[in-house]
Amino acid sequence: MTVLEKLSNFWDQLSTILLSFRFPDFLDICLVAFILYSAIKLIRETRAIQLTKGLVLLGLGYFVISALKMQASTFILKKLFYDFILVLIILYQPEIRHALESVGGSRFKNFSILSGAKSENIRRDEATKDAINVVCRVCNDLSPKKTGAIIVFEKDTLLGEVIKTGTLMDAVVTQELVGNIFFPMSPLHDGAAIIRAGRIYAAGCILPLTENNNLSRELGTRHRAALGLSEQSDAVIIIVSEETGCISVAYKGLLERDVSYAVLREKLMNYLILADSQNQNDSGRIKQLFRGFKK
């Protein structure tokens, strides 16, 4: 076969592929790629990656056992993989729940063409800014005294289950109130204070501990509880260490330790105000797009 014949053959095959191309197939491929990418990103830094490795090794073992025609082992693994989807749901339940909570979060919460919640959002942001300033000052006061504290800023993932473990307050965030909550003799000082929409909604709350076993032994219960909640929600958690007095911030499963007053305020503004403003701007663009379609 000459070079020209090979090129002609290749062109014929390429033309056949292009003529049979359907745009829905392209969207289908993009959607599957996005789902796989999101799944890998979701489990990459959690204990689910270890489960995934175990399942892959188990699958490879199954193929080897089948090839060697080891009947007893093949029968056992067949029974194990018989309800594979159910097994996956049980094993990855925390990750699946977190993914669904993320999908139902802020990116869709603000999407409402008929809503007139702009003034409410402004009021909430102002209250949150005031709360940030107060919390930063309180942490700056508690740090040199080595008074332990853990303060949670609720975002889009509602923390109703955590709030139920504490005492409801629904009060304005003031320096005196936060200082009294974490006073060593206070009955609420061992738990976490939850701030919702710029107000202290509850105090003395118990947070879930992280399941990450690779953390430094220097981290106490407060830091592990803050990490645990940050892994299960989009909340921003501030911790003041009772042992060292250092201020730390936990967000989305990551912990930054020993932050200064200025860095703490900057991070809280970025996580709580600027990120929400970006989401609202995105929603505004979508609304304008829909108005354009209507015209």
pLDDT in tens, 41-68: 666 655 566 677 777 888 888 888 888 8
Q: pLDDT value at position 165?
A: 93
Predicted confidence band of residue 278 (pLDDT cuts 50, 70, 90):
low
- The pTM score is 0.64
Q: pLDDT value at position 176?
A: 93
pLDDT digits (tens, 9 = 90+) for 210-221: 877 778 888 888
Give Cα 113 distance to the centre of its chain: 27
Kindly state the average pLDDT of the residues 111-124.
62
Q: pLDDT value at position 285?
A: 46
The segment(s) of the chain belonging to CATH 3.40.1700.10 are 118-282
Share of the chain above pLDDT 90, in %: 37
pLDDT digits (tens, 9 = 90+) for 161-173: 899 999 999 999 9
Distances (CA, A) of 72 to 54, 76, 228: 21, 6, 41
Alpha-carbon gap, residue 27 to 33, rounded angstroms = 10
pLDDT digits (tens, 9 = 90+) for 172-189: 999 999 999 999 888 898
Judge: domain 118-282, CATH 3.40.1700.10: yes
Residues 43 and 49 sit within 8 Å (Cβ to Cβ): yes
pLDDT exceeds cutoff 50 at 111: no
